[in-house]
Chain A
Amino acid sequence: MSSVTPFKRGDQSSVRSSTAEPILVVENITKRFETPDGVLTAVEGVSLTVAPGEFLGVIGPSGCGKSTLFNVIGGLTGGYDGRVSVAGETISGPHQSIGMVFQEESTFPWRTVIDNVAFPLEIAGMSKAARYEKARHFVNLVGLDGFERRYPAELSGGMRQRVSMARTLASEPKILLMDEPFAALDEQTRLLLGDKVLQIQQQLQQTTLLITHNITEAVQLSDRVLVMTYRPGKVKRIVDIDLPRPRTSEIVSSEAFGHYVAQIWSDLREEASRGMHDDEARTRHAGEKHA
């Protein structure tokens, strides 16, 4: 872990060009699960790459295997076909170059904000003074300065997610992996936090992979958006988001924005309705079983 000095990443070339050597390579991931109803294929043959400093959004309907993909890349799930590599190195299991931000409430309720954020530094064996100073930087980065000594229970849901994010960022991962971190928040908070994420990502040039079901969020934050099909999840399409940077949440009212949203929705709609029909069929079938 680097010492306490400027945290802005070294210069990285323009993120939009896909000719830059990708830092994250996901090759042909297929993951199956055994369920009481038979073998379920969550994702099939999913491949993607993320360039350094790029923001990739992954969007898909419920049931498209997004969370499975999240767990596979993050190393929390094994037993899949395919390969995940970071900077050329194949990974299996949690890796220190990948930082994960989870969908659910994940702050440690028994630790203060600063102790939560300093957690990865504490694990790495950093001295108390050093890790507090570093953690304080990341607390400021997410806009929670002044709240260091508070407990998560005293904060709002959005603030707690920011704490989780700061905690992951404090471990300075090469790749930030986020699974619908704003799912539990209301739309306005999401937009404002989206602003925050954009700010942070720009400042740190942080390579990010965001998994979401919210189209607005995906387009607002990403350089490219990968659309997934319904189960078994495959890559349906990759959309280049050619909106100017730096961006703010005001971009959502632009015409180009609406264009992208419409485009992605037309792709998603088909998959989402397949998902709905599948749900109904399953519920009907389950009812018949118990009749």
Chain B
Amino acid sequence: MTAGALARRRSFPVLLGLVMVVAAIALVEVLIRVGLINRFIVPLPSQIGASFERVIVEEGIPERFWLTLREAFWATLLLSVFGVGIGVLLHRFRILRLATETWVAAFASAPTVLMYPLFLVIFGRSANTIIMMGFVAGLAPVILKTVEGLASTRRVLIDVGRSFKLTPSQLYWKIYFPAALPSIFVGIKLGMIFALINIVGVEFLINFGGLGQLINELAERYDLPGTYAAICFVILVSVLFFIITERLERWLRPVN
């Protein structure tokens, strides 16, 4: 099979999938117009599409996007610094790790976002609440991945360091840390994703902030096409964010 034919064969299912999704949307449009689906519950897809521009311009999508991004940035910074720091601490002092690793793992699976009313009381209805919620949500995976990366440093590399009489601090900076960097980045990527999910979610819940808040506001105004459009927009941003972090990870680990 020629290279061209092979490429076409691989992209055919993708295209078919896309076509089917578009067809499904078109079907919904028809069903609504015909009256089989209540147009006050599901607005016309064409209407949703039309409201995109309105929403972008009138509701200040760029500013909101920027605000959400800033919150995500601060949360990521916090969870990177504290996550890696705590992870190094846990690895350096084995007894500490033995004592607390299961706690961190449990914390990772706990519904931390439910604490948002508590954070509201502590930080008020402000960006700080949102940033802290993002930080708390993304912290555990960074800690766990940092410890995992440091612990899985190949024994022979440590032996090389020992054979050259490295001090413990030199061992850490010149061998453990570089060896663990790929794992640490995976942890930060996971942390970023958890943080963003929680940030947008909390923005929606407390009706403050950027993109998440927009959905809430439009819903409370009963602007149905606008609400759907805003949701689509948030999905788009989330997907893009996810793709970028994946590309970043692949770029940072070129040779395996």
Contact between A and B in the complex (any CB pair below 8 Å): yes
Interface residues, chain A, with chain B CB atoms under 8 Å away? 74-76, 93-96, 98-100, 102-106, 108-111, 119-120, 123, 151, 153-154, 164, 171
Name A95's closest neighbour in chain B (CB-CB).
B165
Q: Given A108-B178, A110-B178, are A102 and B159 also a contact pair (CB < 8 Å)?
A: yes
Q: Is the CB of B156 within 8 A of A102?
A: yes
Total interface residues in chain B, CB < 8 Å: 18
Q: Is the CB of A74 within 8 A of B163?
A: yes
Q: Is the CB of A76 within 8 A of B166?
A: no
Residues of the A chain whose Cβ atoms lie less than 8 Å from the Cβ of B159: 76, 100, 102, 106
Q: Is the CB of A123 within 8 A of B166?
A: yes
Whether B26 is near chain A, meaning CB under 8 Å from some CB there, is no
Residues of the B chain whose Cβ atoms lie less than 8 Å from the Cβ of A103: 156
Whether B175 is near chain A, meaning CB under 8 Å from some CB there, is yes
In the bound complex, how far is the Cα of B160 from the Cα of A100, in angstroms? 8
Q: Is the CB of A96 within 8 A of B178?
A: no
In the bound complex, how far is the Cα of B255 from the Cα of A255, in angstroms? 46
Q: Which of B156, B164, B170, B179 sits near A94, CB closer than 8 Å?
A: B164
Q: Which of A94, A103, A105, A154 has the most CB of B within 10 A?
A: A94
Whether B162 is near chain A, meaning CB under 8 Å from some CB there, is yes
Interface residues, chain B, with chain A CB atoms under 8 Å away? 154, 156-157, 159-160, 162-166, 170, 174-175, 178-179, 181, 255-256
Q: Given A106-B156, A108-B157, A110-B179, are A119 and B164 also a contact pair (CB < 8 Å)?
A: yes
In the bound complex, how far is the Cα of B179 from the Cα of A94, in angstroms? 22
Residues of the A chain whose Cβ atoms lie less than 8 Å from the Cβ of B162: 76, 94
In the bound complex, how far is the Cα of B162 from the Cα of A100, in angstroms? 10
In the bound complex, how far is the Cα of B178 from the Cα of A110, in angstroms? 7
Name A151's closest neighbour in chain B (CB-CB).
B255
Q: Is the CB of B157 within 8 A of A96?
A: no
Name A104's closest neighbour in chain B (CB-CB).
B156
Smallest CB–CB gap between A254 and chain B, Å? 36
Q: Which of A94, A106, A120, A153 sits near B255, CB closer than 8 Å?
A: A153
Residues of the B chain whose Cβ atoms lie less than 8 Å from the Cβ of A108: 157, 160, 175, 178-179
Smallest CB–CB gap between A66 and chain B, Å? 16
Q: Which of A103, A110, A171 has the most CB of B within 10 A?
A: A110
Name A119's closest neighbour in chain B (CB-CB).
B164
Residues of the A chain whose Cβ atoms lie less than 8 Å from the Cβ of B166: 123
Residues of the B chain whose Cβ atoms lie less than 8 Å from the Cβ of A111: 178
